[in-house]
Amino acid sequence: MNLVPLGLRVLSISQQMDRELDVNHSIILRNVLGKLEQTTSDCLKHDKCWELVESALKDSHTVVWADNGTPTCPAIVTLTQLSQVPLEHLPSKLQQKLVTLLIEISTDTDLADVLSACRHFMKKIFLDASIVVEELTKMRDVQGNEITPTGRSKRLRRSVNLAPSLSLLQSPTWKRGVTMLEFVQNKKKLNSVHLMLPVLFDILKKSLEFETQAPVEYTKQLVLSSILNCCQKLSPEGEPIDSDLFVPERTFNVELIVHCIRATQNPQTHHHALLVLAHLAGMIPEQVLHNMMSIFTFMGYSVLRHDDAFSFQVISKIMETIIPVLIKASQSDKISSVGDHELTCTIARVLSVFTVALLDIPEHRRLPLFYKLLSTVDPDRSLWLLLCLVVESHVSCWAEGDLPKGHSKDETPKRLEFCLSLAAIRYYWLNLYWRQTSSLFCSKLGEGTLLPVLRQTSWEAQQMKKNSHPVSEVLFNIEKHTAKQLRHFKYTLTSFLSSLLSLPALVNQIAALSDVDTHLMEPLYISMIELMLKFISRVSREVGRNANQPSAKYWKIMLNQSCDILDKVNCLLPGDMVIPVVRRLLDNKLSTVRRKTMELLNNHLQHQADLSSKCDPESYFNLLPPLMAVVGSIGAGDKGQEGELELNQQTALLSLKLMARFLGLEHPTRFQECVDVMAKMLKNNVPQGNVLASMVLCIADMTTSLKANIIVSIPLIMPALINILRKYQTLESPSLMMLSIITAVHKIVENLTKFLSPYIHNVLREICTLSAKWVNDTDPKIAPIVHKLQLTREKISTSLSPRVLVPAVSTCFTQLLRNGQHAAIGPLLHILSDSFTAMSPEERVHHQPYLITFFLEALQFRTDSSEGLEAVALVEGHIVDALVALVLKLSESSFRPLYFKLFHWATSRLLDANNLAKTDTLYFGSGKLAKTKANLLLQQILKTLHGVFMYDRQKFINKERFDVLMQPIVDQLENTLGGVEGLQSRASSFVQPCIAEFAVAIADDALWKDLNYQILLKTSHNMPEVRLAALQTLCEVAHKLGEDFLPFLPETVPFLAERLEDEEEEVEKEAKRVVQELEEVLGESLQKYF
C-alpha cells in the first residue's frame, strides 16, 4: 500500500514527459505494479490501490521501457501482472468493476497489443457467468438514439413491435456487449453458464429484429458461439440435461435458432446455428424434433444446392447428430408422443426434403450425400421410404410439368437411375433394396401402406381416406393425386424393380455369394416369389375385369412387367435353391400361387442342360407327392373352380414330364408309379378335355424318358390310348385334343415300336383311319396332325420287324374291308410299301410267299366287293402300288415265280371267264355291275399283256405260253361283253394292239401261222362286227410283221376274197381297205389272187 502513491506520481509524471517515461521511472512503475500478486490481491479492495490499477489500465499511450529495452505501456504491464492474481478471491463487485473496465478498454482501444493483452487476461482468469450476464443485460436493454416522446407515441410502441434502429449498433453499450461476447464465446474458465443462456437468447432475438441483417451477422455468430459454449459446458456429451439442477428446457429457444438459419444467407451464421442445433438435439430432443422439418426444409432449399465442401460437412454434421438422436429418442420414454409410425413419418419428411432437391444437388455430391443420409437414418427403415419418395417426385413432376428450372421431362428418369446407383454402392444395400422394393411393390403398395385407386367413386374415396395408413399421407397422398398418377406410380415401381433385378452389380454380387450366404437368402427368395405370384394373380384379375375399359392397356403392361420381374427373380435364384423354394411354395393354400410355382419350376427345368449331374435327385423327388396330389384331383374338383383346377392339373403334368425327361432314365422306378396312376385314370375315362390331352402327352413323354423301363406299363397304356383314339375319330374338325393324342401315339411308337406287337394292328387301324380322313384337307390347322400321322406311319414301316408288320397289315386290311373303311386302306398299304425299303433281301425272300398270298387275296377285292367302281378302283390302285413297290425291290430270280403266279392267275381263266362268247356266267357274276367289272378287268388284262408283249426282248413268249394265251386272246374278238359298242371299242383299243404285239413277240413262223389262221377264222363269224374287227386285226398284224407276212398270204387270200363279197357293205369296204394295205406292206399287187 505504501508504494501506491509512488506509482500514482510516476503515472502523473508521464503526462509531463510527453507520455514517455525514462528508464528509471519505467523501472519504478514496473516494480510498483509488480507487487500485485496473489498475496497482495486484498490491496485491490482499497480505493487508492484500485485507483492505481484503474489509471494504469486506462493508460495505453504512455511508453514504458521493459527490461529488454522494448517499449510497452502501463495497461499491458498491469494486465500482465493481474493475470497472476486469482480473480475469484476478489469480491464480486470488484470483479465486476475490473471486467467492466477491461471491456471498456478493449472496446475503446485502437492498439492491437493492448487488445491482445486484454483477451489473454480474460482467457486466463476464472470468470463467473453472473458478471457476464451483467454486461450482456445492458446490451440487451440498450435502446437506440431515436426520440420516443410520451403519450401517443408510447402507446404506439406498446401496440406495434418496431424494428430496432441500426444506430443502436454504434452505441457504446452495444459495442461493449459485442466485446464481452468475443471474450466468452470460447472461454473455458467460465462458471454458472446456465445463467447466461436466457440473456443470450434475448440478444439473439433482438438481433433478428433488425430489418437489415447484414450488420448484425457478426453479432449473431458471437451469440451462437456463446450459446454453443454454454451448452457444451452443461452437457459435454450432448446428453439430456436435468432441468432441476441447471436450466429448464423452455430456456432453449430452438425455434429462434432455426429462424436465425432461415433469415440469413451468411454461411458462417449457418455454420454456427447448425452446430448449436446439433448439440441441442442431444440435450433437448423434443424441441429439436418439433422444429426439425424447418431445419431440413432450409437445407433442401439452400445448403443442399451449394457446391462446396463446407456445406457438405455442415449437412453431414447435422445428419450425424440430429437424426440418430431423434431415432434414439423415439425408442425411449423421453418423447412419449412419438411412436414408431410418427418416427417413420418424420424420417419420410426428412427424406422428402432431399428427394425434392435431388436434381438440383450437384451431381458429384449426390451419392456421397444420400449415402451419408441413409447410413445415418438406418437403411432398414428408410430405403423403401426413399424409393417411394423418389418415385412420387418423378410421377408428380411428369404429370404436372412442375420440373425444376433448367430441367425437362426427359431428365426425370435420372431420379431412378440415381436410386440404382445408390443401391449399387454396397452389397447389403442391394439386397435390402431388393427386399424392401419387392415388399413395397407386392404388399405395401397393394394393401397396407398405399391403397390402390382402381375406380373413382365417392364411396371408395371415403373408404380409402378412412383406412389410409399414416405413412401414406407422406409418401403418396391419395387425396392429392389422381388415379392416373397412382397407376403411373405403380408402373414406375415395377420398372424400377425390373431394372434393379437386372443390375449387373446385383447379379455379380449374388453370383459371388458363399454357400452360407446363399442359404441365408432363401427366405428372401421365397417371400419375394410368393408376393410376386400373389400380385400377378391380382393383376390378372384386373386384366380380365378391365378388358373393355380405357385402362386395359395399362393392366396388360403391368402384367407383362410383373411376369418379367418374376422371370428375373427366377434367373437370380441359384440352381441348388430352386427346388427347396418350390417345395415350400407348393404348400401354399392359394391355387394360383401353386400354379405359378409349378410354372417357375417348369421354366427352371427347361433351361437345364444336364440336370442329373448338377443336383441331388432326392430334392426333386420330394416334389412328386405334391405334384401327384394335384394330378390326383382330376375329376374330383369343384365345378365352380374347374378352370383354375384344370390349369393347375395341366401345369403339374408338365412338371412331371420335364422331371422325367431329366431323371427318368436313371431313376425309372420313381416315375413308373406315376405312369401307372395316370394310365388307370385314362382307362377309367377320368380326365377330359385339355387335361386329357396333357395327361396323354405326359405319359408319352415319360415313355421317351424311361424307354424300356416302361415296358411293364404298356398293357395299361396302350389299350387306354387306343380307346381314346377310337373315341375321338368322330371329330369333324381337328382340335388340340386330337393333335395331342396323335403326338402321344407318335412318341410311344417312336420309342417302343418293338414292344407293341400285341397292339400294332389296332394302332395301324386307328392311324390309317385318321390319315384317310384328313389326307386331302387344305386347312392349315390340320397340317400338324397330318405331319404327325405321316411320321408315325414312317416309323412303323421302318422300325417294325416284317414278321410283326406283315401279319398286322393283313389283319388290319381284313378289318378295314369288313368295316367298310376303304379309304384307310391306302395309308395302310403305303406303310407296307415303305417297309419293303427297310427290309433286307433275306427278309424279303423269307416273307415273299406270305406277301404273294396277301396280294392275291387283296386283288380279289374287286371280285368280292359290292362297292362302286370308283371305290374299287381306288382300293385296287393302292394294292397295285404296294405290289409294284414290292416287285421293284425283288431280284429277277425272286420276281420270276411271283410273276408267273400272277400271270397265270390273271390270264389262264380270266379272259375266257369274261368272254360272253364262251360262257353265260361272267367272272363277277350276272348283272349290270358284274358286266362293268368284267369289262374293266378285260381292259386291264389286255393292257397288261400288251405291255408284256411290247417289252419282251428275251423270248418270254415261248410255245407253251403261246398255246396258253393265243386262243383266249383271239377269242376276245368275238366277245360281245358290253354289246356291239363294247365289242368295237374294246377291239380297236385293246384287242387289236395286243394281238399285233403278240405276233411280234412270237418270232416263230409256225406260231405265226396258227395265230393268223385263228384270226382268219374270226372273219367268217356270223356277226358282221366280229368279221370287221377280225379284218382290222389282220391288217394290224400284217403291218407289224411286214414282209414276214408274205408266207401266210396263200391261206389269207381265200378268206379275203370271201369278205370282198360280204353281204354287209361295211365289211366289204373294210376288206378292200385291208387288201390295199397288204399290197403296200408286201410291195406287190394281190389282184392276181382274186
Q: Which residues of 12-46 are buried (b: 16+ CB within 10 A; e: fewer)?
A: eebeeeeeebeeebbbbbbebbebbeeeebebbee
Q: Cell triple for residue 447?
A: 394393401
Q: What is the percent of the chain with per-residue pLDDT over 90, rounded to a whole number? A: 4
The residue type at 369: L
H/E stretch holding 72: strand 71-72
Q: What is the percent of the chain with per-residue pLDDT over 70, rounded to a whole number? A: 80
Which pLDDT score is estimated for 253? 82
Q: What is the DSSP letter of 128?
A: E
Q: How far apart are CA 820 and CA 813, in angstroms?
A: 10
Q: Cell triple for residue 521?
A: 437368402
Contact 721, 696 (CB under 8 A): yes
Q: How far apart are CA 92 and CA 684, in angstroms?
A: 113
Q: Cell triple for residue 159?
A: 401496440
Q: Cell triple for residue 700?
A: 408319352
> 162: how many CB neighbours lie within 10 A of its CB?
11
pLDDT higher than threshold 60 for residue 400: no
Residue for grid cell 459435454:
236
Give how far Cα 895 sits from Cα of 85, 884, 900, 942, Å: 145, 11, 9, 21
Which pLDDT score is estimated for 201? 87
Q: What is the pLDDT of residues 503-531, one digit of tens each?
A: 787 778 777 777 787 777 777 777 777 78
Q: How far apart are CA 357 and CA 353, in angstroms?
A: 7
Q: How far apart are CA 1019 and CA 1036, in angstroms?
A: 14
Per-range mean pLDDT, top range of 257-266, 327-336, 652-661 = 652-661
Confidence of residue 609 (pLDDT cuts 50, 70, 90): low
Residue for grid cell 395399362:
554
Which pLDDT score is estimated for 340? 62
Phi, psi (5° rounding) for residue 273? -65, -40
Contact 499, 570 (CB under 8 A): no
pLDDT higher than threshold 80 for residue 441: no
Which pLDDT score is estimated for 310? 59
Q: Work out the average pLDDT over 327-351.
A: 61
Comparison of pLDDT for 629 and 604, the residue scoring more:
629
**Cα angle vertex 329, ends 327, 335, to 5°?**
130
pLDDT higher than threshold 70 for residue 746: yes
Per-range mean pLDDT, top range of 167-181, 627-641, 775-789 = 167-181
Kindly report the average pLDDT of the chain as a whole number: 78
Of 538, 573, 304, 316, nearest to 434 by C-alpha is: 573
> 178: how many CB neighbours lie within 10 A of its CB?
19
Q: Work out the average pLDDT over 91-97.
A: 77
Least confident of 239-253, 341-355, 1066-1080: 239-253
> 712: how many CB neighbours lie within 10 A of its CB?
12
Comparison of pLDDT for 151 and 196, the residue scoring more:
196
The residue type at 941: I
Which pLDDT score is estimated for 297? 61
**Is the four-CA dihedral 475, 481, 483, 484 of positive or negative sign?**
negative
Which pLDDT score is estimated for 934? 82
Q: How far apart are CA 1070 and CA 896, in angstroms?
A: 42
pLDDT higher than threshold 70 for residue 690: yes
Q: How far apart are CA 426 and CA 371, in angstroms?
A: 10
The residue type at 1013: Y
Query: Which residues are 65's β-sheet partners?
Result: 71
Phi, psi (5° rounding) for residue 72? -145, -165
Q: How far apart are CA 1077 and CA 497, in angstroms?
A: 101
Q: Work out the average pLDDT over 139-153.
A: 59
> 942: how many CB neighbours lie within 10 A of its CB?
21
Q: Work out the average pLDDT over 591-601.
A: 82
pLDDT higher than threshold 60 for residue 217: yes
Least confident of 67-71, 205-209, 220-224: 67-71
For the whole model, what pTM was predicted?
0.56
Q: How far apart are CA 1039 and CA 213, in angstroms?
A: 139
Confidence of residue 927 (pLDDT cuts 50, 70, 90): confident
SS3 (DSSP) at 915: coil
Contact 879, 822 (CB under 8 A): no
Q: What is the pLDDT of residues 987-1006, one digit of tens each?
A: 899 999 999 998 888 888 88
Q: Work out the average pLDDT over 1003-1032.
A: 89
Q: What is the pLDDT of residues 19-63, one digit of tens each?
A: 777 677 777 777 777 667 666 666 767 667 777 777 777 777 777
Confidence of residue 455 (pLDDT cuts 50, 70, 90): very low
Q: How far apart are CA 1086 and CA 1090, in angstroms?
A: 7
Of 331, 366, 336, 370, nearest to 350 by C-alpha is: 370
Give how far Cα 857 sits from Cα of 439, 487, 851, 853, 862, Å: 77, 77, 10, 6, 10
Q: How far apart are CA 447 and CA 650, in angstroms?
A: 31
DSSP string, 593-618: HHHHHHHHHHHHHHT-S-STTTS-HH
Secondary structure of 316-360 as H, E, C letters: HHHHHHHHHHHHHHHCCCCCCCCCHHHHHHHHHHHHHHHHHCHHH
Contact 268, 221 (CB under 8 A): yes
Comparison of pLDDT for 322 and 916, the residue scoring more:
916
Q: Cell triple for residue 283?
A: 440435450
Contact 485, 399 (CB under 8 A): yes
Q: Cell triple for residue 425?
A: 454402392
Q: What is the pLDDT of residues 463-497, one digit of tens each?
A: 434 444 456 666 777 777 777 888 888 888 888 88
Comparison of pLDDT for 421 and 181, the residue scoring more:
181
Q: How far apart are CA 69 and CA 23, in angstroms?
A: 9
Q: What is the DSSP letter of 455?
A: S
Q: What is the pLDDT of residues 716-735, one digit of tens each?
A: 888 988 888 888 777 767 77
H/E stretch holding 766: helix 760-774
Which pLDDT score is estimated for 994? 92
Query: Under 8 Å CB-to-CB from 24, ≥6 apart: which residues?
Result: none
Which pLDDT score is estimated for 431? 55
Q: How far apart are CA 626 and CA 427, in angstroms?
A: 36
Tally helices (H) and strands (E) across the chain: 53, 4
Q: How far apart are CA 851 and CA 807, in angstroms?
A: 9
Contact 717, 751 (CB under 8 A): no
Q: What is the DSSP letter of 20?
A: B
pLDDT higher than threshold 70 for residue 432: no
Report the Cα–Cα distance between both ends of the chain, in Å, rounded.
202
Q: In 73-189, at which residue ranges do the beta strands (DSSP E only) sit?
A: 127-128
The residue type at 148: T
pLDDT higher than threshold 80 for residue 813: yes
Comparison of pLDDT for 833 and 47, the residue scoring more:
833
